[in-house]
Amino acid sequence: MRIAVLGAESSGKSTLCDALARRYGTVWVPEYLREFVDTHGRVPDEEDQYPIACTQRAREDEAAGRAAGFLFCDTTPLMTALYSRQYWGRVDPQLARLAGSHDYAWTLVTAPDSPWEPDGLQRESEEVRQTVHRMLVETLQARAISYVLLEGSLEQRLRQVEGLLGRPADSLSLD
């Protein structure tokens, strides 16, 4: 079961995905954009967006074979499309088609309710974070994609997810 974990920059997606994968004894798919920025030493250009989204999706497909029950996906092509709209005012038609295939069992959105932290080239500002969050929520609503907004500390978010997916077997009490 693929679970999309979406959110603006510095909203805790990677930390949450890692914690969920450990809690549920499965794997997660890190955000490829981070690797792209580290490898290339720059933020992506507009023409990089579609290949980034394709790589993200290909890594999901590869990880699905190793997943146990759940596959937590730290971002999806939908977020790549939103950032394209934010920075270039448009979305490449190929990217739009790929982002349109949002076929996840659950969509979780991390609220931008923690302190914003700069992260080298990849993060811009609190203002951009809030704008992207609004764009994401509006897009999900316009496309009638159900989502759950996760708020609070990591433990609070983990409890919210356990309420949706159930508690992992190793954390169930045998009373």
Q: How far, in Å, CA of 145 to CA of 141, rounded? A: 6
| Domains in the chain: boundaries | 2-167
Q: What is the pLDDT of residue 174?
A: 37
Tell me the pTM.
0.90
Residues 96-106 pLDDT 10s: 999 998 899 99
Q: Which amino acid is at 123?
A: R
Class of domain 2-167: alpha beta
Q: Could you tell me which of 27, 38, 40 has the C-alpha nearest to residue 71?
A: 27
* Alpha-helical regions (H) of the chain: 13-24, 32-40, 49-64, 77-88, 93-100, 126-142, 154-165
Residues 37-48 pLDDT 10s: 999 998 899 999
Give 170 or 68, the one with higher predicted confidence: 68
Q: Are 4 and 76 in contact (CB under 8 A)?
A: yes
Element (H, E) at 108: strand 106-110
Q: How far, in Å, CA of 139 to CA of 26, rounded? A: 29
